[in-house]
Amino acid sequence: MSVVDNYVARIDEACGEEKDLIVIFKYDKKDEAIKKILEKAKKEKTVSAMIFELTFRNASFRVYATGKAIFRKLKGKEELRSLLTELLS
């Protein structure tokens, strides 16, 4: 199982011109996944320890303590998986 499949339940391409990519982490792995991401990504802003505005490489994204994340302006799922592989390794 790849590192992404180990932590991620699903990736949705949201409708709308923005083409945001929504990541839903596996419920029982979400805390571990968020911890790993917070260790590697640069924290731009934190709201009530619930919402984390982050950057990594050239990507900006937001991670929610509820186990979801939204990645903006990526080329597609392949680029997202590549970023997640680095973040979750």
Partner 1 sequence: MLDVDKIREDFPILKRKINGHPLIYFDNAATSQKPKQVINAAVDFYEQHNANIHRAVYTLSREASELYEKAHEEVASFINAKGMEETIFVRGTTEAINLVAYTWGLRKLRKEDEVLATLMEHHSNIVPWENLSKIRGFRVKYARIQEDGTLDYPSLEDMISKKTKLVCVSHVSNVTGVVNDIKKIAKLAHEFDALVLVDGAQSVPHMPVDVKGLDVDFFAFSGHKMLAPTGIGVLYGKRELLEAMEPFHGGGEMIREVSYDHSRDRCSISWNELPWKFEAGTPNSCGGIGLMEAVRYLKNIGMGNVANHEKALTDYAMGRLKECEKITVLGPKNPKEKCGIIPFNIEGMSSHDVALLLDSYGIMLRSGFHCAQPLHQLLGLKSSARASFYIYNTKAEIDRLIMVLQEIEQV
| Binding site residues, partner 1, CB under 8 A | 14-18, 20, 22, 45, 47, 50-51, 53, 62, 64-66, 68, 70, 72
Distance, in Å, from the CA atom of 77 to the CA atom of 81, rounded to the nearest integer, reads 6
Nearer to partner 1, 10 or 45 (CB): 45
Kind plus residue range of the DSSP H or E element containing 69: strand 68-71
Nearer to partner 1, 23 or 83 (CB): 23
Distance, in Å, from the CA atom of 50 to the CA atom of 29, rounded to the nearest integer, reads 16
Distance, in Å, from the CA atom of 67 to the CA atom of 21, rounded to the nearest integer, reads 14
Q: How far is the CB of 33 from partner 1 (least distance, A)?
A: 16
Q: How far is the CB of 6 from partner 1 (least distance, A)?
A: 22
Q: How far is the CB of 16 from partner 1 (least distance, A)?
A: 3
> Do 23 and 69 form a contact (C-beta atoms < 8 A)?
yes
Nearer to partner 1, 22 or 82 (CB): 22
